[in-house]
Structure 1
Amino acid sequence: MSTQTTSGDNGFIKGFSRVMNRISGDRDATWFYFNFQKMVRSPNVRKKLARIEASFKANSDPDLFTEEILDIAAELGRHGKTSPLSLISAEHVDEMYSYMAEKKWVDRQRKDIGEFALDGVPEDTQLAHLPLEDVLRAPHLLRLANDPSILLAIEKQFGCKPSAEVIQASWSPPSKKEAIRSQLFHRDTDGLQFIKLFIFLTDVTEDSGPHCFVLNSHDANKLTKPGFFTEEQVIDSFGEENITFISCPKGTHFLENTYGVHKGTQPKGHGRLMVQVLYCSHPTIYPPKKPVLSSDDLNALGVEDLDRYVFRKFVQ
């Protein structure tokens, strides 16, 4: 469906454009934008506004977009997620896991219990996170998140260079408790355009909480109201054949448009360690107030040619 702008839209577009220009350096305006875009539920309207948004942003040299990158972008645009990518070695996956497994984790819902090790997760904890400073120093993570195949495929979807807004590692231990919010079908609304990189650092089987995504739902004008959806609603709207549960070996990584309907599932027998990187076309409320890493930190990590625009919220 065309998203061409008509003359009747000009007044709104000018106002929206002024907001886009202001947001770049104003945290209060970023809050306004974040809440405004959450109210826009129609995929077609979101696309139209996203095109306006992208027109104010930087772009890469067109010659950088190889056929392989265009194929990744096309699959992402068509289905809402890519097939597994092959951008990191098994050895590097093991090193990343070993590093994170030795760190102390926190339960953001119960900060009073303090830090804990992965082999000593408190009984009532259903989701643990690694502090940002430790996540960013994980071996090979920034190098993977900075891979041109990822950044350029996302840029092709956005129409502008992306900005990394969230970089987090989470541990989901086995639990018999009621599912938490992220384990119910929902749509994310992190911006008008956003893509997540998922990296699984443990094997994912039926009993360790496979990720679930509804193919082709990212463009569908169905189940767009805020909130959570039942399995019956999802099947009725998209068909059971489009509901995919992703069981995969450790090291599996892929891109996904999480405006599409998705959920995590609750691990029953084994825990799951997952890293997520959120890329957006415009600033969000999520990043730290100031960068965490310095150029010296990058050198110590052996990270070269980091795209400083994309990762400017995390590296000074």
Structure 2
Amino acid sequence: MKYARLTPGQGFRPVNSFLYYLQRIVVSPRLRRLCIRAFRNWVRMRRGGGTAAGAATPTQRQLLDTLRSDGYSPLGPLLSEAQCGDIHRYFADKPLTGRGDGASGYIISEAPPDARIAEYSLRDIVGCPHILELANDRKLLQLASSYIGCKPTISQLGLRWSFPVQETRSDLQTFHRDSEDWRYLKVLVYLTDVGPGDGPHVYVRGTHLTKASMRLRVQSDSEIAQQYGKDKLIVATGSRGSGFAVDTAGIHKGSRPADKPRLMLQIQYSLFRSYAYVYEPQPYRGWPPFDRYINRLILAFP
């Protein structure tokens, strides 16, 4: 995804800037809840409640309750071993864009030794087997609809490698909060096996319910340990194909891999679009015919 220019300068988008920082400055949890309630009622009036119709199973209710209380909920296997293999084969010859390391255009088998984080383009992600089907899976859409409170929008779809590079890390690999929209959640799916040394996602349980500062900042491991204690940390390890839902308005990080590279799929469902991004929907003429509203930022329908 391309980031919007939110400060004055070439490419500055004042509307994006205003709407993005509008939700950033409302830091009171109570006031945010009131705003979210009004906004989701407006979306429900226009678009309905999403795919939450029908009685939820006990397992689905438990997942939702855990997500609401902890900000994190494991989802188990979301892709089979065969599907993960299909995805890896598809991306074997697709170029990567480096993030912050100055290198781009290489394929995964030729990644430079100093590569730290690299991503695939939305165009290639849309063309990949299984990913769009997973993002539009009925159970995931039902979870997103129930958590957000209305029909969700897929506002980000990304596939990112993190490499084991010594003595360097990005802000993504340091504890921080996201501020994507008024209300959102992410489904993260590992496409490589992830153990403790392979860059697991780490989340501070319950911090999505706490007040964030208007100025987003990173925090060190020692600060987090002192403020919350190690018992609050959720370290999300798992085999490839496994996934979890997480509200990244809470404090989290992607650990820097120490042993081997990590590939992770990110699907973001939100109340509105995220004004931090510039959207370039990709042409889609495939099957099945996904919901146009949910996918409008990702797919351009004929």
User: Is TM (by shorter chain) over 0.5?
Assistant: yes
Match of 1:22? none
Gaps of 5+ in 2: 1-12
Taking a change above 3 Å as real, the CA distance of residues 271 and 154 of structure 1, as seen in their structure-2 partners, is same
Match of 1:97? 88
- How far residue 66 of structure 1 moved from its aligned partner, in angstroms, is 1.9
Match of 1:263? 253
Pick from 44, 48, 54: which aligns with 2:40?
A: 54
Counterpart amino acid of 2:67? L
Distance in 2 between residues matched to 1:222 and 1:280, nearest whole Å: 18
After superposition, give the CA deviation of every residue in 1:119-154 in whole Å (9 maximum; x if it has no partner): 211232210111111111111011111111111111
Distance in 2 between residues matched to 1:143 and 1:60, nearest whole Å: 17
Distance in 2 between residues matched to 1:268 and 1:34, nearest whole Å: 35
Distance in 2 between residues matched to 1:247 and 1:85, nearest whole Å: 11
Pick from 271, 289, 297: which aligns with 1:313?
A: 297
Aligned residue runs from structure 1 range 229-268, under 5 A: 229-268=219-258
Q: Does 1:36 align with 2:22?
A: yes
* Aligned residues of 2:159 and 2:266 also touching (Cα < 8 A): yes
Q: Does 1:64 align with 2:45?
A: no
Q: Percent identity?
A: 25
Counterpart amino acid of 1:42? S
- How far residue 287 of structure 1 moved from its aligned partner, in angstroms, is 5.2
- How far residue 101 of structure 1 moved from its aligned partner, in angstroms, is 2.9
- What is the SS of the residue equivalent to 1:93? helix
Aligned residue runs from structure 1 range 119-268, under 5 A: 119-221=109-211, 226-268=216-258
- How far residue 188 of structure 1 moved from its aligned partner, in angstroms, is 0.4
Taking a change above 3 Å as real, the CA distance of residues 129 and 62 of structure 1, as seen in their structure-2 partners, is closer
Taking a change above 3 Å as real, the CA distance of residues 151 and 84 of structure 1, as seen in their structure-2 partners, is same
Q: Does 1:84 align with 2:75?
A: yes
* Aligned residues of 1:170 and 1:273 also touching (Cα < 8 A): yes
* Aligned residues of 1:288 and 1:313 also touching (Cα < 8 A): no
- What is the SS of the residue equivalent to 1:119? helix
* Aligned residues of 2:27 and 2:213 also touching (Cα < 8 A): no
Match of 1:24? none
Q: If each structure's strand is expressed as a fraction of its own residues, which one has the higher value?
A: 2
Q: Does 1:284 align with 2:274?
A: yes
Distance in 1 between residues matched to 2:127 and 2:277, nearest whole Å: 16
Q: If each structure's helix is expressed as a fraction of its own residues, which one has the higher value?
A: 1
- What is the SS of the residue equivalent to 2:223? helix
Distance in 2 between residues matched to 1:159 and 1:105, nearest whole Å: 36
Counterpart amino acid of 1:163? T
- How far residue 177 of structure 1 moved from its aligned partner, in angstroms, is 2.8
Match of 1:274? 264
Taking a change above 3 Å as real, the CA distance of residues 119 and 144 of structure 1, as seen in their structure-2 partners, is same
Distance in 2 between residues matched to 1:242 and 1:233, nearest whole Å: 13
Distance in 1 between residues matched to 2:52 and 2:122, nearest whole Å: 33
Pick from 65, 75, 78: which aligns with 1:74?
A: 65
TM-score by length of 2: 0.86
CA RMSD of aligned residues (A): 2.1
Match of 1:117? 107
- How far residue 65 of structure 1 moved from its aligned partner, in angstroms, is 4.6
